[in-house]
Amino acid sequence: MHKFSLAFSPCPNDCFIFDALIHKRIETDDFEFTVHLEDVETLNHGAMEGKYDVTKLSYAAFPFCSENYQWLTAGSALGAKCGPLLVSKNNHNWNEVDSLRIAIPGEMTTANFLLSLAKPNAKNKTEVLFSDIEDAVLQNRFDAGLIIHENRFTYEQKGLKKIRDLGDWWEETYSSPIPLGGIAIRRNLDEKIKKAINRLIRESVEFAFAHPEESMPFVRAHSQAMDEKVMKQHIDLYVNKYSLDLGEVGKNAIGKMYTIAETNQVIHKIVRPLFVE
């Protein structure tokens, strides 16, 4: 029996992706997984500590733990029109961003990476749990908030207004899909095991696409009383063909992100292979 720790977020897209694997709706051979659910920035910090064998990770955080982890090609959140949003309560505009107090979902999130690229002089940033950012802006504790996940479907009805969609900014600037988060695995595991786990995750996604209602009890259990329509919008936005397999387009988008980060001296050059092939 092969036993591994598996960590991902309680968000609908991750629960949808991993439901079939962890509840053995697919054949898992002799693999067993101990599951840990954490918000994405907690997962990022966990990867810095080498805490889990297999973990969800922000693409922007990976360069800081690339010696110990490698990307799988299944399970990713990557695509178009799915980026983080910068929102405000008081009609602030894009030209004012440098002077605003901004709540971010974590220093190592891809959301903050994109904001840092787009607005390098916006320095007044504070880390806030992603699910608390909307309320923090509504309570005037911050001038703006960088929202991710399901919050993009709820901010308008709460009275917040979009300053900029950073996914749109990325796509317009670099003509590439936007890499948000993926699944990383320990480099020191046997190559056959890494490939087998990658295959199991892909099969879990395939099962979820073929039987979408099967995963909904698990999704609902971790949705924090989210409206069912929002849950399904969330899944539809973040789980797509790149979640099955990055393919060359997805891999190139991720490579481009790291090249841009190196050029802007945000990260050091990653010298080890990025992907489990």
| Residues in contact with 65: Cβ distance below 8 Å, sequence separation at least 6, in sequence order | 47, 48, 50, 57, 184
Q: Which residues are catalytic?
A: 149
Residue found by looking up tokens 């786990």 in the block: 197
Strand order in the sheet with 161-165: 125-127, 102-104, 144-147, 85-88, 161-165
Give the single-character DSSP code of 270: P
Q: What gap in Å lies between CA 154 and CA 266, rounded to an integer?
A: 32
Query: What residues pair up with 38 in beta bridges, in sequence order?
Result: none
| Residues in contact with 204: Cβ distance below 8 Å, sequence separation at least 6, in sequence order | 17, 18, 19, 20, 21, 25, 26
- DSSP alpha helix (H) spans, 84-212: 110-118, 133-138, 166-174, 191-210
- The β-bridge relationship of strands 161-165 and 144-147 is unpaired
| Residues in contact with 188: Cβ distance below 8 Å, sequence separation at least 6, in sequence order | 68
Structure tokens at 33: 């997984």
